[in-house]
Each structure stands twice: as C-alpha cells, then as structure tokens.
Amino acid sequence: MMPDIGAAPRAQSLSATQWQETPWPFPRDAWPSGKAFICSDKSCGGEAVLSVRVKLGFCNCDAGVRDDDEVDNVADVDMVTPDFVPAGPGETIKVGDFSGRIRSYGYTANGKPRTALGLALARKCDLIAISVNSPRTDEKELMGATLERLRSQDLMKWVNRQLGEK
C-alpha cells in the first residue's frame, strides 16, 4: 500500500484558502501554462508559490512515475531555479486517484536558503507536474500544506477538466 503523506492532522495546517491564485510565474515553454497559487501567510514561511500543470501523454503508461530522477526531470523545479539540489530521496505519494513521487530540494536565492518541492503524479499516460518554492525550511510542513491544496475539490476538478473529464 502506498503511503498517503500529508493526510494526518498537523498542528499548523494551511487551509486551501490560504493559497490565492496568481498569474503563471514561468516563461512559456513546450507545455501549456497551468495554475499558480501564492501563500504570503507566516504559516507558509513567507511567500510560497505553488504551480500545477497537466502534461498530457507525458508519462509512462505502464509504470507511471518510476523514480526520483523522473521527478527531477518533469516536476518543473528547474523553472524555479536551475541550481536545485535534492535534500534526499523522495517518497511515493497518492493524491486522489493519481500516484507518484514527491521530493524536496534546497537552493539559495538572494543569499538565503529556500526550499523547493517537486511532485510528479500520474494516472494512465498523463502527468501532473507540480513545483513549490518557499522560504520555509521545514519541508514536512510545506509538503503537508502543498498536499492539502492539491487535494482540494476545486483544484482536482480543474485537473480533471484539463484531462478532458467532467
């Protein structure tokens, strides 16, 4: 059974409403823009940015997201910074009926340490690429807040519409 990290109650959990939609923060590339959210609340560690986009037909249809190298390559963390360094091995996750991996990275911006998360979630042959960047250095709290937002009804409805479902 795949662990569902972030599902347990947390002392300082962020609600989905603390993430406010913001314009897509990255330059155009081969994939359509997605949705982006910002959380300026202190509980986010300052200004955290979450980006989510669907990459149709981009996943291994049989194996899904196989390993951390795949997360490194597809999760759009390179759009946050080209200088990301994995903080350690990733973990398997499940969000709704999507499964994949989440991995934490460290990087420096303006001389200050920051945390980035990369998530790659698959269902059938389609991929959801997610990146988060934050001044927060507590990666477990950031993971919990991110997964809570990803599991929200409005965001899952948007993802399913992007996949051509109702």
Total of domains in the chain: 1
pLDDT band at 4 (very low <50, low <70, confident <90, very high): very low
Beta bridge partners, 118, equal 103, 131
Q: In this structure, are residues 22 and 36 in contact, taking their beta carbons and an 8 Å threshold?
A: yes
Q: In this structure, are residues 76 and 30 in contact, taking their beta carbons and an 8 Å threshold?
A: no
Phi, psi of 6 (to 5 degrees): 85, -5
State the CATH number of the domain containing residue 153.
3.40.1000
Say if 64 falls within a structural domain: yes
Say if 46 falls within a structural domain: yes
Average confidence (pLDDT) over 155-164: 92
pLDDT band at 6 (very low <50, low <70, confident <90, very high): very low
Say if 68 falls within a structural domain: yes
Beta bridge partners, 128, equal 54, 121
Say if 73 falls within a structural domain: yes
Rounded to 10 deg, the angle between the 139-150 and 153-162 helix axes is: 70
Phi, psi of 54 (to 5 degrees): -100, 135
Is 29 buried (19+), middle (13-18) or exposed (0-12) by CB count in 10 A?
Answer: exposed
Say if 4 falls within a structural domain: no
pLDDT band at 9 (very low <50, low <70, confident <90, very high): very low
Say if 121 falls within a structural domain: yes
Average confidence (pLDDT) over 3-27: 63
Average confidence (pLDDT) over 125-133: 92
pLDDT at 3 over 80: no
Average confidence (pLDDT) over 1-6: 41
Say if 61 falls within a structural domain: yes
Written as six digits, the tokens of 16 are 């989905």
Largest CA distance in the chain: 45
Give me the chain's average pLDDT, please.
85
The verdict on pTM exceeding 0.75 is yes
Q: State how far the Cα of 39 lies from the Cα of 20, in Å rounded to an integer.
A: 6
Say if 41 falls within a structural domain: yes
How would DSSP label each residue in 130-166? EEEEES---HHHHHHHHHHHHTSHHHHHHHHHHTT--
pLDDT band at 69 (very low <50, low <70, confident <90, very high): very high
Range(s) of the domain holding residue 89: 18-162
Comparing 5-9, 72-76, 90-94, which segment has the lowest mean pLDDT? 5-9
Is 131 buried (19+), middle (13-18) or exposed (0-12) by CB count in 10 A?
Answer: buried
pLDDT at 158 over 70: yes
pLDDT confidence of residue 8: 38
pLDDT digits (tens, 9 = 90+) for 77-89: 999 888 999 999 9
